[in-house]
Structure 1
């Protein structure tokens, strides 16, 4: 989480669980409370699919919020980004700021929720195809 930006609703709906990784010294994994999964994480999806995702989600380590990444592919590779402007999981301003700071080649904005690949798949595919066409080796 980035303290420079307002928190999203995710913060109020995280559940702490004992870690399943004995090597993890944080001792806590996080997940989205199942009852909040649809409005916070899976907005725009049908209720049945969101319910399945809510109970099958893989917890993530607290380190995802507290530790810096050891490497960043965008430092040496061209990158594209998508901002989900109605995201309740990741603050859109955090995404915009990160993409700008990293010098992403292109950033598009889609008026949609966090799981754009489910709710706006055509928009996501267009970005992937554009990135592929600009980076693929066509000499095969």
Structure 2
């Protein structure tokens, strides 16, 4: 029997990992929600969205998808699955079809962090080489986690997973926010993803917007209660459509 209570699926940013959701998960558990924090592959938008779609397909009931920063692009691409009932964007950008991160940055100004990122090469399938990005430790607190202490910021810097540089130029082929109710948290003091991009794309999508003027890019760590409350609001909103259970004999999703 399918559950009618939504499962919250959390998708982390590039130069990050799923542990950044630790405080948010604890807060959501206190509110009685089931939560899954996926390991975003960070190899490219099409690849990452396909992986997320396979995870969502395996969940037997409604899903609230939550994306942080680049994770917002991933849930934009993957969030059209029939059991996705709400989208929540946390210090994220909500690209339209054919619109990359760099295209948005060309309109609103680039992040001051981008030129400071460390670039290294990695091997893709076969013998091809590609570039991946990470945040130098000395840049992590001022640009990513300014509202956290130095010790915590350095732990986050040590936990980060590099992201393929191509995510800056990859563009979605679908925009799930066009058909799915959306919520967005704008981090007003973000030095990694300009708040102007967060604000514009959230309002363009018609999202319910919460702005925290003093929050850094690491808002999920520094303000877990506020992030969890926004997710909880989305999960229980009357605007969230019910999910119709599959007919008997229908093939379940699977990876």
State the TM-score, normalizing by the size of structure 1. 0.86
Matches within 5 A, 1:58-77: 58-77=161-180
CA distance in 2, matches of 1:71, 1:82: 22
Partner of 1:109: 211
Q: Where is the helix percentage greater, Structure 1 or Structure 2?
A: 1
Partner of 2:4: none
Which consecutive residues of structure 2, in runs of 5 or more, have no partner in the other structure? 1-101, 243-255
Q: What SS does the aligned partner of 1:93 have? A: helix
> What are the superposed Cα offsets for residues 17-67 of structure 1, whole Å, 9 maximum, x if unpaired?
112433696710011111101111122112122112212211111121101
Unaligned runs of 5+ in 1: none
Pairing 1:100–2:203 present: yes
Equivalent in the alignment of 1:89: 192
CA contact (8 A) 2:121 2:129 kept: no
The residue aligned with 2:233 is 130
Q: CA deviation at 1:122?
A: 1.8
How many Å separate the matches in 2 of 1:129 and 1:11?
Answer: 32
Q: In structure 2, what is the equivalent of residue 56 of structure 1? A: 159
Query: What CA distance in whole angstroms lies between the structure 1 residues aligned with 2:126 and 2:167?
Result: 16
Q: Which one of 118, 127, 137 corresponds to residue 34 of structure 1?
A: 137
Match of 1:10 in 2: 113
8 Å CA contact 1:26–1:62 kept in 2: the answer is no
Q: Secondary structure at 2:155's aligned position in 1?
A: helix
Following the alignment from structure 1 to structure 2, what is the Cα–Cα distance between the partners of residues 100 and 26? 38
Moved over 4 A (4+): 23-26
After TM superposition, the score normalised by the length of structure 2 is: 0.49
